[in-house]
Amino acid sequence: MRTARGMHKAALEHARGADVFVAAAAVSDYRPVAPLAGKRKRVHEAELIPCLSNPDIVREVAALADGRPRFVLAFALEASDHLARAKEKLRRKRVDVVVANDLRVMGAEMAHGWWVEGEHEEEMSAAPKEEFAAMIVERIMARIR
């Protein structure tokens, strides 16, 4: 995928009628108003680039009136206030679950996080990333059975 708008279009096409939608991609919140075909030359030490908001893909998938996936999961990568921000994201985006994880462990071998669903929150054990992903899949499967 080359652009957030391309991902938005593809996600809406493929999400309709799906059992599960996992919003695992960290899509940019903004895009330049006027993208350049090549490299921007340095003119000043600091320069402002006007931007527009990209579509909120997971929020739009969760809001599908026709064909909403049975289960929509989003991630919240946060530097602080993990649970409060995950709960706010759960309400604002109207997803079924938010898995909150800590920005400070980016690039680490282990993953750690919190499963936030409704008013329930549960800390997930630290584990190698593949095992952590398997724990998430197991929880999703238990939820949609």
CATH number for the domain that contains residue 96: 3.40.50.10300
Predicted local distance difference test score (pLDDT) of residue 45: 83
Range of the domain at 90: 4-27+46-144
Domain membership flag for residue 99: yes
Number of domains in the chain: 1
Domain membership flag for residue 40: no
Domain membership flag for residue 87: yes
pTM: 0.88
Question: Which alpha helices (DSSP H) does the chain contain, by range?
Answer: 4-15, 57-62, 82-93, 129-144
Mean pLDDT computed over 73-98 = 94
Domain membership flag for residue 137: yes
Domain membership flag for residue 33: no
Domain membership flag for residue 35: no
Domain membership flag for residue 37: no
Does the pLDDT of residue 105 top 80, yes or no? Answer: no
Taking only the tens place, the pLDDT of each residue in 29-60 is: 899 999 888 888 888 888 888 999 999 999 99
Domain membership flag for residue 22: yes
Taking only the tens place, the pLDDT of each residue in 117-145 is: 999 999 999 999 999 999 999 999 999 98
Does the pLDDT of residue 25 top 80, yes or no? Answer: no
Q: Which two tokens stand for residue 77?
A: 């990568």
